[in-house]
Structure 1
Amino acid sequence: MDFRLYIYFITVVEQATFTKAADVLHISQPSLSAAIKRLEQGVGMTLLERSTRHIKVTEEGNILYHEAKKLVNHYQHVSNEMNRLKREGPLQLQIGLIESSHFWVPKILKSFKRDYPHAQINLHEILSLPDVENALMNFDIHLAITNQFLNSEMIEATPLYQERLVAVLPNGHRLASKRELRFADMEGEAFIVCKEGFQTRKDILHAFGKSGFQPKIQFEIERFETACRLVDEGLGMTILPENYVDQAMNGNYTIRPIVGEDIARHVYLAYEKNRYLPPIVLRYIELIETYFKVNHRITTK
């Protein structure tokens, strides 16, 4: 059935006369009367009792009016939503994160929610290189905050900042009395490190290799939180981003800077190059870039 007939019928009921309804709809009264007749023929019932001055809605007409009103309202809502999607894209943001980004991401989200108060934001902790690449290429996330070096023609990776890595050891450890550590100091110590596929592991092992030493790996982990818990129990020492350790819960461990080798990691903003990014995603990217420009923390590869 022609959807316009429902709109015509609703207008006639609400205006109570064909003359007023025709004026509101900007059509002639004969055309409106003919349209309502077609609607009645279509449903097989009398919807309006007509008189020379006013109309009266039948019981069947009253039921149709309320149901048609719901239908038209829903149609208008869907139509408005489709128009909004053309302008803004879906109000949903999927973000992949590393653990140490938690110290600044909430600041960006606070500004973002002022622009998009109704946006749904999903935060995914995605850590290893394969997981980051798969999440981006499969469109599971719109963007990633990652320390993984993404050597891919399909992914744009913009460096945001560099964060220092520090040694974390149990309180009372023999090295805790030192104000700073060298890699030679850590030789032979039970060591906790990220498992294969994590850039932080590569950075740490590369720095050890340059110093001429190799760590005695006792535990391989995925999350820094696990490493802190193991250190807390005196099961070994580890090397973690300073930003993460500063924000982590207090534990029974000591933090010391490492000297002698340049040990740090880069953090990137990454997204798939050929994917359409709706305005809501572009705005979030803009807020991130502005934040680090203001804080003078943009670095170059």
Structure 2
Amino acid sequence: MFEITPLRYFLSAYETGSISRAAQVNNVSQPSVSAAIQRLERDLGGALFLRSRQGLQVTALGTQLYREAAASVSHLADLPARLRPRVPQAVRIYCHPDMVLAPFAAPLQALTRRRPEVMPEFTDDPGSCDIACIAEPCTPAGYVFLPLWEDSYGVALPVGHRLAQRETVALADLAGAPFIQRPYCPQADMLHLLAEEGLAPGRAGAAATNDPQLLDLVAAGLGVAFVPLRHGAQHAGVCVRPVRPGPQVRRRAGLAHRRTVAARELAEEIAAPLREI
């Protein structure tokens, strides 16, 4: 039965073309590498290398041994790392109420597949999170913001609403409509857009505590709301249409991370497939 250590020394000599370099790679003495190769040659009944002033020349037997052994030795050498219990790494994630988590779902799933030790935990406290899904103005103090995309705003309507079939909606068409309150958004409800046109909204609609809930309320026909245009792809019962005259409000959305190496690396991994800016 072959031992893995002599085979590892042989592979290093094959790949580096030198006994001395193989010894350096494995942090052992040159005699140790030479003795291991000689032992293999005795077991196999033939030379693995021809030694000359130009260095090692691999024999046919040496080439065959390398082809047969390389993958197996590499697999076995990594075995302790694969079997060693992984230390769970809790990652606290905060999602601001005016954000929808759906765009981040696939990158988070990919991250946990690549790094099973990562254990996402969601928190309601932005000051205690490692990573935040957030718009730039809401970035917690001391965190680093990674911009991913820019949003402009439109009006969220139930898919069966009389205005939902239009490509754009005039602000005048929204006069008298019940608006769902969105008090957690940095841009508030943006009802000033109606006021600037001399229009007034209808009765106050329900108040939402976050945008996913707001979209549910819109889909239920309880009112309309000004929201980022990309929210329209996040709920089957809601469409979001641009309004005219169009709002000049835009926001930069992305991730914010704590100023630690681990948080930065995780945020960059999540952000990579999403980055548009």
**Counterpart residue number, 1:191:** 179
Decide whether aligned partners of structure 1 residues 115 and 255 sit closer, same or farther in structure 2, where only a CA change above 3 A counts.
closer
**Counterpart residue number, 1:259:** 244
**2:254 corresponds to 1:268:** yes
| Letter aligned with residue 121 of structure 1 | P
**2:162 corresponds to 1:164:** no
Percentage of matched positions with identical amino acids: 21
Aligned equivalents of 1:241 and 1:136: distance in 2? 21
**Counterpart residue number, 1:218:** 205
Decide whether aligned partners of structure 1 residues 246 and 289 sit closer, same or farther in structure 2, where only a CA change above 3 A counts.
closer
| Letter aligned with residue 155 of structure 1 | Y
Decide whether aligned partners of structure 1 residues 91 and 163 sit closer, same or farther in structure 2, where only a CA change above 3 A counts.
same
Aligned equivalents of 1:214 and 1:158: distance in 2? 37
| Letter aligned with residue 105 of structure 2 | P
Contact persistence 2:126–2:140 (CA under 8 A): no
Aligned equivalents of 2:217 and 2:130: distance in 1? 33
Which of 204, 228, 231 does residue 218 from structure 2 map onto?
231
**Counterpart residue number, 1:245:** 232
**2:270 corresponds to 1:288:** yes
| Letter aligned with residue 118 of structure 1 | E
Aligned equivalents of 2:150 and 2:192: distance in 1? 17
Which of 68, 71, 95 does residue 93 from structure 2 map onto?
95
- Give matches, 1:23-42, under 5 Å: none
Q: Deviations over 1:100-159 (max 9, x none)?
A: 4433212222332244212211134x5xxxxxxxx243x2x1121112613765333332
**SS of structure 2 residue aligned to 1:162:** strand
Aligned equivalents of 2:140 and 2:240: distance in 1? 35
**How far 1:96 sits from its partner (Å)?**
0.9
Decide whether aligned partners of structure 1 residues 153 and 168 sit closer, same or farther in structure 2, where only a CA change above 3 A counts.
closer
Unaligned runs of 5+ in 2: 1-83
The two structures have a TM-score, normalised by structure 2, of 0.56
Aligned equivalents of 1:181 and 1:218: distance in 2? 19
Choose between structure 1 and 2: higher helix proportion: 1
Contact persistence 2:153–2:228 (CA under 8 A): yes
The two structures have a TM-score, normalised by structure 1, of 0.52
**SS of structure 1 residue aligned to 2:252:** strand
Decide whether aligned partners of structure 1 residues 144 and 206 sit closer, same or farther in structure 2, where only a CA change above 3 A counts.
farther
**SS of structure 2 residue aligned to 1:149:** helix
Q: Deviations over 1:278-298 (max 9, x none)?
A: 52x2321121343244xxx12
Q: Deviations over 1:227-256 (max 9, x none)?
A: 3333334332223333333122x33x5542
**SS of structure 1 residue aligned to 2:251:** strand
**How far 1:187 sits from its partner (Å)?**
1.6
Contact persistence 2:131–2:258 (CA under 8 A): yes
Decide whether aligned partners of structure 1 residues 231 and 290 sit closer, same or farther in structure 2, where only a CA change above 3 A counts.
closer
Aligned-residue RMSD, C-alpha: 3.2
**Counterpart residue number, 1:108:** 107
Aligned equivalents of 2:175 and 2:140: distance in 1? 36
Contact persistence 1:148–1:267 (CA under 8 A): yes
**How far 1:259 sits from its partner (Å)?**
2.9
